């Protein structure tokens, strides 16, 4: 069996051979990845069910189809993404070829997490392959069934010289990180991100961080309360709240809360029935450790459970739960919940809601529910977040045209669609010059003279830019 450093060394040799660079190779591997997902849809759905009791419907939507759509988009566009991007020039460079060339970085490492264990590995991998890199993927050991399925399938469908799966938990990942990579793409918690950064700093490796945090859902002004409740319940309890872009908490006025609670009760009953534990449409908490963490949060909270609250340790089940009277310093507000618990906090004005959001770390996603476009626009303008969506939750991340990523503590960098290709490309500044216009060029040579400087300033001025090749 190869050691981790032998795997990395083998991929480095493949990268140096240049095999990953031609467009045909990239397209062939992306097509292989597409076959991997298509041929094994049932095995994927079963593995996700084993790991999280993920309903087939959610597995298809959020793991299978999102990856297939990304692959279609990449296969259709990789040729145009690879084209040089010509830039405008000034008089002094008008005969030169000046362009940005996207080049692969080398051997990149993608570390995934357990909540969308297929999507969060394969989607970045699409960008990395499209950009012409060799790739090591490290699935999360927590979602063990998907981890082992990915390790089995990838070598069957992709070039083994260029792509590898390395498995293991924290210790194995730390050992893997001692190798030199050309880029590290990490999805997971802010705590682990700090260790990743430390390891990356040894080799000065650039890093993309896809992290989490607390995504607010601010409901303000006139609003279609029944639709708001349905969309909120769907976005929050999809995958039992274990989504990095799930609404973490609701901010609204007391009057809105009074109207919202019966609507939430109705939506929950419509979706999951009177006994949600018997519903096939609710995932389970991924592990006993995560179940205990969530139950501890519930115990430490001084809020009041108004909906749900039931749990079953054996079944790793926590009912969709809504809490009110939650203070800003409550245990539930100290960390990302990442589970099926929805606290509601009341604020009485638009400004106070915006202040609340801005007092906290910049979130990965920010949701505003309102019929009033002035409310939506004010929140959009006065806050910052990785992504923003009005009158819905999560869906903004399904479009490959929109970059997906955080800002500040919710993450560095972004991917999806072209943004994924860019995340794994080096933008090389190229100027191809000949020997023409030597007199014009000679203006910069000593001996320096004032008149030469005036001419030079004129020929290099941005005002004299032109688009000639
Ligand atoms: P996790 O436990 O699966 O860890 C993530 C990865 O890091 C795994 O592959 C794991 O093996 C590895 N790892 C764990 N400890 C390590 C260590 N000490 N050193 C090196 N590697 C280590 O997942 P998690 O950390 O529980 O992830 C949950 C977090 O991920 C939440 O905060 C969530 O919001 C965030 N998340 C973000 C996104 C996003 O796209 N921005 C998506 C999903 C989850």
> What digits encode the pLDDT tens for the residues 150-185?
999 999 999 999 999 999 999 999 999 999 999 999
Kindly tell me if the per-residue pLDDT of 261 is higher than 50: yes
pLDDT at 16 (0 to 100)? 98
For the full predicted model, state whether its pTM sits above 0.85. Answer: yes
pLDDT at 469 (0 to 100)? 37
DSSP state of 182: S
Residue nearest to atom 18 of ligand 1 (CA): 170
> What digits encode the pLDDT tens for the residues 6-21?
999 999 999 999 999 9
Closest Cα to residue 201, out of 180, 185, 186, 187?
180
Cα–Cα dist 456/440, whole Å: 8
Closest Cα to residue 66, out of 365, 419, 398?
398
The percentage of residues in the chain with a pLDDT greater than 90, rounded to a whole number, is: 95
DSSP 338-387: -SSEEEEEE-SSHHHHHHHHHHSPPPSEEEEE-S-HHHHHHHHHH---SE
Which of 210, 252, 336, 422 is labelled catalytic?
210
> What digits encode the pLDDT tens for the residues 343-376?
999 999 999 999 999 999 999 999 999 999 999 9
Q: Which residues line ligand 1 (CB under 6 A)?
A: 111-115, 120, 138, 140-142, 169-170, 173-174, 187-189, 192, 195, 210-212, 244, 336, 338, 364, 406, 411
Kindly tell me if the per-residue pLDDT of 311 is higher than 50: yes
Tell me, in angstroms, the distance from the centre of ligand 1 to residue 19's CA: 32
Q: How confident is the model at residue 464 (pLDDT cuts 50, 70, 90)?
A: low
Beta bridge partners of 184: 109, 207
Cα–Cα dist 105/287, whole Å: 36
DSSP state of 216: E
Closest Cα to residue 367, out of 283, 252, 222, 239?
252
Beta bridge partners of 344: 250
Residue nearest to atom 15 of ligand 1 (CA): 170
Place of tokens 């087939």: 56
Tell me, in angstroms, the distance from the centre of ligand 1 to residue 188's CA: 3
Tell me, in angstroms, the distance from the centre of ligand 1 to residue 222's CA: 38
Which of 134, 244, 252, 389 is labelled catalytic?
244
- Tell me whether residue 380 is exposed, middle or buried, using C-beta atoms within 10 angstroms of its C-beta: 0 to 12, 13 to 18, 19 or more: middle
Residue nearest to atom 9 of ligand 1 (CA): 140
Residue nearest to atom 1 of ligand 1 (CA): 113
Mean pLDDT across the stretch 273-284? 98
CATH class, domain 215-398, is: alpha beta
pLDDT at 131 (0 to 100)? 98
Range 4-211+415-426 classified under CATH 3.40.605.10: yes
Mean pLDDT across the stretch 331-354? 97
CB neighbour list of residue 43: distance below 8 Å, 6 or more residues apart: 149, 153
Kindly tell me if the per-residue pLDDT of 293 is higher than 50: yes
The domains of the chain are located at 4-211+415-426, 215-398
Mean pLDDT across the stretch 216-231? 98
Residue nearest to atom 40 of ligand 1 (CA): 210
The percentage of residues in the chain with a pLDDT greater than 70, rounded to a whole number, is: 99
Residue 411 CA, chain-centre distance (Å), reads: 8
Active site annotation includes 210: yes
> What digits encode the pLDDT tens for the residues 407-428?
999 999 999 999 999 999 999 9
Active site annotation includes 244: yes
């Amino acid at each position: 069996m190869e050691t981790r450093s032998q795997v990395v060394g083998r991929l480095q040799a493949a990268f140096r051979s240049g095999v990953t660079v031609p467009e045909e190779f990239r397209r062939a591997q992306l097509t292989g990845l597409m076959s991997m997902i298509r041929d094994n849809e049932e095995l994927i759905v079963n593995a996700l069910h084993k790991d999280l009791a993920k309903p087939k419907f959610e597995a298809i939507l959020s793991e299978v189809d999102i990856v297939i759509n990304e692959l279609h988009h990449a296969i259709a566009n990789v040729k145009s993404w690879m084209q040089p991007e010509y830039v405008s020039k000034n008089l002094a460079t008008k005969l030169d070829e000046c362009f940005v060339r996207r080049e692969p970085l080398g051997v990149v490492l993608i570390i995934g997490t357990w909540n969308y264990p297929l999507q969060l590995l394969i989607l970045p991998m699409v960008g990395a392959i499209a950009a012409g890199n060799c790739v090591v993927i490290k699935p999360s050991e927590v979602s063990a069934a998907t981890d082992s399925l990915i390790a089995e399938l990838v070598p069957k469908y992709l070039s083994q010289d260029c792509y590898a799966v390395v498995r293991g938990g924290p210790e194995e990942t730390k050992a893997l990180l001692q190798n030199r990579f050309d880029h590290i793409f990490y999805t997971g918690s802010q705590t682990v991100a700090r260790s990743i950064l430390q390891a990356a700093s040894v080799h000065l490796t650039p890093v993309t961080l896809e992290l989490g945090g607390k995504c607010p859902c601010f409901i303000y002004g006139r609003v279609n309360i029944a639709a708001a409740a349905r969309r909120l319940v769907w976005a929050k309890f999809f995958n039992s709240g274990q989504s990095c872009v799930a609404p973490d908490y609701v901010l609204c006025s007391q009057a809105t809360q009074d109207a919202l609670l019966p609507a939430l009760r109705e939506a929950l009953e419509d979706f999951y029935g009177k006994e949600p534990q018997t519903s096939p449409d609710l995932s389970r908490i991924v592990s006993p450790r995560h179940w205990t963490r969530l139950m501890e949060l519930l115990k430490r909270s001084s809020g009041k459970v108004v909906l749900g609250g039931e749990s079953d340790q054996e079944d790793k089940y926590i009912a969709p739960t809504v809490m009110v009277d939650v203070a800003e310093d409550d245990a539930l507000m100290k960390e990302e919940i990442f589970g099926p618990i929805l606290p509601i906090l009341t604020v009485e004005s638009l400004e106070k809601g915006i202040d609340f959001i801005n007092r906290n770390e910049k979130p990965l996603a920010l949701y505003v529910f309102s019929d009033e476009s002035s409310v939506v626009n004010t929140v959009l303008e006065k806050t910052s977040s990785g992504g923003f969506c009005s009158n819905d939750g999560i869906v903004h991340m399904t479009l490959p045209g929109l970059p997906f990523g955080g800002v500040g503590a919710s993450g560095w960098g972004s991917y999806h669609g072209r943004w994924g290709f860019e995340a794994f490309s080096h933008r090389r500044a190229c100027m191809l010059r000949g020997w023409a216009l030597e007199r014009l060029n000679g203006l910069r040579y000593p001996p320096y003279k004032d008149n030469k400087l005036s001419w030079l300033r004129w020929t290099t001025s941005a005002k004299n830019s032109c688009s000639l090749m």
